[in-house]
């Protein structure tokens, strides 16, 4: 199921909408290509000083396409990681202030997109995280790097090593989101109010401040992104991606130690 990426611009505010017919947004190859095109438009646009990333349907973004991930080998996994990192880096480097409005599940690549934004707002029923270790891989689109830089070591370890999707209240405590709204209607109001506050601040000053904050976090972590891509590719030297993704598709529990898949149903939570 293809996920569309639509850009609308209203004066200084741009909105990027992800939408799929079944309401489950995935960052498959075509969707990433469409997002790259939208980012090109935003990079060339003059006068846009706030960008809101949002989605319609049952979830925000459920992550990458499991069938694409399952088809990778060590060489193509490295290329996939570097492509995804480049895309998320372009989001992070937009001079405009970026906001992501999260409703429902925001997992894997969706969480990596959220971490690349300046501000993360969510509904109370949102569930957010980096579940890649559950299918035998690691976050490969900048997730290991940004989780550590933004959230700190303890939270990054918790999210990545457990692979759990945390609820919005927990995400707020961890700093994964900065505000929580009761429902989608309240989230729209929260986003609009946040946009109004931002627009009352100087756009050039905000762009300069964003650039400084990025610089003060430390030098550009290119070596870290390269190491992440190498590690993502290294996952495919083992049988774990096949074990984990087969289990995911069969709604079973992976048996990592025996090298096969148990038929015990997974806990849906």
Residue 81 forms beta bridges with which residues?
Answer: none
**CA dist., res. 108 & res. 59, Å (int):** 13
Q: Nearest CA to 236 among 81, 88, 131, 111? A: 81
Please provide residue 15's backbone torsions phi and psi, each rounded to the nearest 5 degrees. -125, 130
CA 176, CA 115: separation in Å to the nearest integer? 8
pLDDT of 217 reads 81
**How many H-runs (helices) and E-runs (strands) does the chain carry?**
11, 11
Check residue 234 and give its pLDDT: 97
Tokens of 44: 């060339």
How far does CA 101 lie from the centroid of its chain? 12
Please tell me the distance from the alpha carbon of residue 30 to that of residue 16, in angstroms, as a whole number: 16
With the CA atoms of 147, 16, 19 and 193 taken in that order, what torsion angle do they form, in degrees rounded to the nearest 10? 80
User: Which member of 132, 184, 217, 222 is catalytic?
Assistant: 132
- The pLDDT value given to residue 261: 47
Strands 13-20 and 50-55 come out as parallel
- 112 an active-site residue? yes
Per-residue model confidence (pLDDT) at position 2? 86
Residue 265's pLDDT is 44
Do 25 and 59 form a contact (C-beta atoms < 8 A)? yes
Task: List the domain boundaries for the chain.
Answer: 3-185
Please report which helix (H) or strand (E) contains residue 76, including its range: helix 74-92
CB contact at 8 A, 160 and 151: no
CA dihedral of residues 129, 134, 135, 138 (deg, nearest 10): 60
Question: pLDDT 10s digit of each residue in the chain, 269 long?
Answer: 789 999 999 999 999 999 999 999 999 999 999 999 999 999 999 899 999 999 999 999 999 999 999 999 999 999 999 999 999 999 999 999 999 999 999 999 999 999 999 999 999 999 999 999 999 999 999 999 999 999 999 999 999 999 999 999 999 999 999 999 999 999 999 999 999 999 999 999 999 999 999 888 876 688 999 999 999 999 999 999 999 999 999 999 999 886 554 444 444 33
Query: What is the distance of C-alpha 27 from the center of its chain?
Result: 9
Q: Supply the DSSP string of 146-184, one letter for each residue.
A: HIIIII-HHHHHHHHHH-PEEEHHHHHHHTS-SEEESSH
**What is the reported pLDDT for 214?**
86
Sheet holding 97-102, edge to edge: 3-10, 13-20, 50-55, 97-102, 119-123, 179-181
pLDDT (0 to 100) of residue 259 = 56
Q: Which CATH class is domain 3-185?
A: alpha beta
pTM of the model: 0.93
Q: Report the SS3 class of residue 16.
A: strand
Instruction: Please indicate whether residue 83 is annotated as part of the active site.
Output: no
Distance (Å, whole) CA 134 – CA 253: 10
pLDDT at 219: 67
The catalytically annotated residue of 112, 184, 217, 250 is 112
Exposed / middle / buried, residue 226 (Cβ in 10 Å: 0-12, 13-18, 19+): middle
DSSP, residue by residue, 202-223: -HHHHHHHHHHHHHHT-S--HH
């Amino acid at each position: 199921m293809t996920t569309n990426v639509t850009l609308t611009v209203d004066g200084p505010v741009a909105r990027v909408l992800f939408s799929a017919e079944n309401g489950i947004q995935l960052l498959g190859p075509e969707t990433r290509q469409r997002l790259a095109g939208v980012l090109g438009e935003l990079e060339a646009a003059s006068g846009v000083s706030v960008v809101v990333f949002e989605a319609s349907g049952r979830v925000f973004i459920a992550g990458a396409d499991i069938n694409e991930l399952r088809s990778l080998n060590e060489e193509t996994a490295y290329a996939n990681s570097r492509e995804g990192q480049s895309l998320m880096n372009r989001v992070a480097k937009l001079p405009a202030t970026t906001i992501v409005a999260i409703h429902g599940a925001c997992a894997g690549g969706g969480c990596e997109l959220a971490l690349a934004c300046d501000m993360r707002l969510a509904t109370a029923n949102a569930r957010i995280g980096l579940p890649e270790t559950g299918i035998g891989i690691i976050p490969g689109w900048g997730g290991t790097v940004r989780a550590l830089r933004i959230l700190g070591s303890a939270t990054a370890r918790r999210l990545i090593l457990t692979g759990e999707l945390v609820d919005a209240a927990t995400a707020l405590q961890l700093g994964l989101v900065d505000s929580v709204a009761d429902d989608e209607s309240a989230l729209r109001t929260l986003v609009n109010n946040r946009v109004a506050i931002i627009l009352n601040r100087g756009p050039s000053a905000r762009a300069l401040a964003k650039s400084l904050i990025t610089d003060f976090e430390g030098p550009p972590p290119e070596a870290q992104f390269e190491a992440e891509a190498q590690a993502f590719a290294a996952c495919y030297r083992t049988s774990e991606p096949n074990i984990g993704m087969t289990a995911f598709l069969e709604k079973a529990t992976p048996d990592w130690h025996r090298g096969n898949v148990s038929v015990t149903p997974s806990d849906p939570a």
